[in-house]
């Protein structure tokens, strides 16, 4: 579980002071944005009762907030901006996130956007067909097990938000990483792997929109660089851990009319 702490500060601001309050928060936000202890912040205003505001600040930890930010020079300016409104505070507390958390379905997963299990099966069939004909990669995958492509399809499907079929039938992240131990993958092989995966994505007709492809390639870059690392000498295999879940990058999916 994350060590982050979420501080909630609830204000009840008289209507005639709301403009000054918003201006003060805008200035104080500059100090929050500059604070290495601050993860993110947001001021929200009640839709039903305009006088109610909640300032949510995520800190790297409570100690970092209390002993770091509050002891820093930034805090002096922060208090100068927002301190005059302290008398309107109704509650200020640090909260620790529990395990009850997640995301809603407002965003499609990369898995469903790509076309689900069939899309990933198509992808890895085309991909390993190319791999086995490729002068750089064919020797690495010589004697490939027949089920390799379908295992990698279910791995990718799970990473991109599909059902946990790889972790239920094969194992978790540690299991997958272990398949690369001692293989001594070179940068030239890695780059070819990424290039062929992108060629395969085109041929298998995965979506070509900028947002999907940038997230897809980001995972290919991240995953292959880990594969190279774990295939190298003197590597300590990681403890078993859940399969990473990849999602959209900074640009959300484009769903224009």
**Interface with ligand HEM, residue 124, by CB under 6 A:** no
Between CA 14 and CA 230 the distance in angstroms is 59
Residue number, 29 or 110, with CB nearest to ligand HEM: 110
Residue number, 58 or 189, with CB nearest to ligand HEM: 189
In the list 223, 243, 246, 248, the residue contacting ligand HEM (rule: CB under 6 A) is 223
In the list 82, 119, 126, 185, the residue contacting ligand HEM (rule: CB under 6 A) is 185
**Interface with ligand HEM, residue 198, by CB under 6 A:** no
Q: How near is the Cβ of 252 to ligand HEM at its closest, in Å? A: 23
In three-state secondary structure terms, 54 is strand
A 10 A CB-CB count for 125 gives 16
Using left for φ > 0, alpha for ψ between -120 and 50, and beta otherwise, residue 231 falls in alpha
In the list 25, 113, 180, 248, the residue contacting ligand HEM (rule: CB under 6 A) is 180
**175 is known to lie in a ligand binding site:** yes
Confirm if 137 and 195 have CB atoms less than 8 A apart. Answer: no
> Which residues contact residue 92 at a Cβ distance below 8 angstroms, ignoring those fewer than 6 apart?
7, 8, 9, 10
In three-state secondary structure terms, 82 is helix
In three-state secondary structure terms, 137 is coil
Residue number, 65 or 192, with CB nearest to ligand HEM: 192
- Binding residue positions for heme: 151, 175
The residues binding ligand HEM (CB under 6 A) are: 137, 140-141, 145, 148, 151-152, 155, 170, 176, 179-180, 183, 185, 189-190, 193, 220, 223-224, 227
């Amino acid at each position: 579980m994350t060590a982050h702490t979420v501080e909630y500060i609830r204000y009840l601001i008289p209507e005639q002071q709301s403009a000054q309050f918003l201006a003060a928060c805008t200035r104080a936000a500059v100090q929050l944005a500059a604070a290495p202890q601050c993860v993110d912040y947001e001021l929200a205003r009640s839709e039903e009762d305009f006088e109610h505001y909640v300032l949510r600040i995520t800190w790297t930890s409570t100690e970092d907030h209390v002993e770091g930010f509050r002891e820093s020079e930034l805090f002096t300016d922060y208090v100068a901006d927002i301190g005059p409104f302290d008398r309107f505070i109704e509650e200020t507390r640090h909260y620790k996130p529990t395990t009850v958390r997640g995301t809603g379905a407002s965003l499609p997963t990369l898995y469903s956007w790509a076309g689900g299990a069939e899309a990933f099966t198509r992808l890895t069939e085309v991909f390993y067909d190319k791999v086995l004909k490729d002068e750089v990669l064919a020797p690495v995958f010589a004697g490939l097990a027949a089920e390799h492509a379908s295992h990698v399809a279910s791995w990718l499907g799970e990473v991109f938000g599909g059902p946990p079929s790889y972790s239920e039938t094969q194992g978790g992240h540690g299991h997958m990483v272990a398949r690369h131990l001692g293989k001594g993958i070179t940068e030239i092989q890695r780059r070819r792997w990424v290039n062929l995966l992108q060629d395969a994505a085109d041929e298998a007709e995965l979506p070509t929109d900028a947002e999907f492809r940038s997230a897809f390639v980001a995972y290919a870059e991240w995953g292959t660089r880990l594969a190279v690392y774990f295939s190298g000498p003197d590597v300590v295999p990681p403890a078993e851990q859940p399969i990473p879940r990849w999602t959209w990058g900074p640009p959300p999916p484009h769903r224009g009319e």
